[in-house]
Amino acid sequence: VIPQSAEEVKNIVALCKEADMPYYILGNGSNLLVGDKGYRGVIIQIYKEMNHIRIEDDKVFAQAGALLSRVGTATLEAELTGFEFAAGIPGTVGGGLFMNAGAYGGEMKDVLTEITHLTPDFKIETIKAEEAKLSYRHSIYKENGCIILGGKVKLTPDSQESIKEKMDDFLGRRKDKQPLEYPSAGSVFKRPVDNFAGRMVEMVGLKGFAIGGAQVSEKHAGFIINIGGATADDVNALILYIKEKILEIFGCELECEMIYVKNG
């Protein structure tokens, strides 16, 4: 189901609750792994029909369905800096706020000033950024049951030339280091304290290791790619194997950044 407004989101959720029907809020789905049996229920995709972006002075208002890349393009055209880190992340504003997306030293919490959401009792509220308690790959939205509808960020004026230079640098690094030529669910693991998950996976000799059609990328060991016919079970089996090896050798328990969606 693809709602076109906050009111439609509210009505759809109300219908689901009335019918005792499971529902899942989806953005671009770029950091998700869906179980092989799918999802029995309603997928509410806040994406292309709720993607309006508005810029006033140094403030950018974006609906949850706006792609981060589109926001990046809009800020470039408006000569506003501070959002370059997110311009290459293949997700939406809603997803980016939900997990406090970040890259190359920047995070959503660095620029966010407000979030608008729908509460479990169907109230539309706007809260200050600090109330969302954004931290590394985490926000209160992982626990509070609210649905993100949009956000406001505050940026800094700069020249288009300088902004584009930063964006091109980040995009170039992404293409050089990440296996963008293969299907994947993005970075699999959160960064451990004082280390990097990809580096640890490589150190235990699992770069290129595969289970079924799922393989630890030879380009970046923090990614699991589909080299052909991979199932969600293949990916999960590979994740468990990696976690066991890292725990055995480093005594460190890796935590997934990628979200696993299933209910059957």
**CA 68 to CA 93: how far, in whole Å?**
6
Helices (H), the chain: 6-18, 68-77, 93-98, 160-177, 197-203, 232-250
Structure letter (DSSP) for residue 205: T
Residue whose C-alpha is closest to residue 98's, from 77, 82, 112: 112
Write the burial class of residue 184 (CB in 10 Å: 0-12 exposed, 13-18 middle, 19+ buried): buried
187 has catalytic annotation: yes
Residue with tokens 């985490």: 138
From 84, 184, 217, 257, the catalytic residue: 257
**Candidates 137, 139, 184, 217; catalytic one:** 137
Which of 224, 226, 227 is closest to 240 using CA atoms? 224
Phi/psi zone of residue 124: left (φ > 0), alpha (ψ -120 to 50 degrees), beta?
beta
Angle between helices 160-177 and 68-77 (to 10 degrees): 150
Residues forming beta bridges with residue 182, ordered by sequence position = none
Name the catalytic one among 69, 139, 184, 187.
187
Look up 257 and say whether it is catalytic.
yes
137 is an active site residue: yes
Alpha-carbon distance values, 101 to 28, 107, 139, 183, 187 (Å): 13, 6, 10, 20, 11
Name the residues annotated as catalytic: 137, 187, 257
